[in-house]
Amino acid sequence: MDAALAFSISVLLFLGLMQIKKIILELEEKNFLLDHISKTDSLTQALSRLETFHQAELEIERSLRNGEPVAFLMLDIDHFKNINDEYGHPLGDIVLTNLVKHCQKELRVIDIFGRVGGEEFFVVLPGDDIGSAFEVAERLRKRVFSTPSALVGGKEIFISISIGAASFSPKMDGETKSSLVLRTFYAKADQAMYAAKSKGRNRTEIWTQ
């Protein structure tokens, strides 16, 4: 009887431990999913705004340590409101999602690409100076302009984007606080992007004083 009781207790303990292990694994999986959701834009699967800024600051800190430049691009879909008005918001969502896919094909694994507004996206290019940033921006612009972003009743929908570029060099710019660098060069890339829009859209402009 003692042996049977001990065996029963051992089985119950084993089953209890297995159940606890299962619960822990389920919690870990849920935490992983929650972490992914918090870092990713739910619609486009680009990085979220907060995660984009977080990773951008990390790259700026690395730039400050190794002395290499880091470039920034701000891109915005031209006349996106017209697409929503003419075809509806569901198709606008498809356009946004496909824009991300088109751009990611032209970017490196180390590049940061995030959605920071309705149709605005921010790109961080580690190690790139302004010349390299311009080349990347033009590749993005040309791919987006030449590739259909949606299909409606057999009709291919094409869009264009305007891009602003700016580049930070720790050897020349002198700033040493990553958050201030990010705020400053985010604004510069944004200003350059609006300059591209004012000059006719579907173009890349480099920030100038």
Query: CB-based burial of residue 66 (10 Å sphere; 0-12 exposed, 13-18 middle, 19+ buried)?
Result: exposed
Comparing CA positions, the residue from 184, 69, 55 lying closest to residue 128 is 69
DSSP, collapsed to helix, strand or coil, labels residue 76 as: strand
- Tell me, rounded to whole angstroms, the distance of Cα 108 from its chain centroid: 12
**CA–CA separation, 105 vs 110, rounded Å?**
13
* Alpha-carbon dihedral sign for residues 75, 81, 86, 91: positive
Catalytic residue among 61, 106, 119, 156: 119
Active site annotation includes 68: no
- Cα dihedral 61, 58, 69, 185, rounded to 10, equals -100
CA distances from 32 to 26, 48, 56, 174 (A): 10, 16, 22, 39
- Tell me, rounded to whole angstroms, the distance of Cα 45 from its chain centroid: 8
List, by residue number, the catalytic residues. Answer: 119
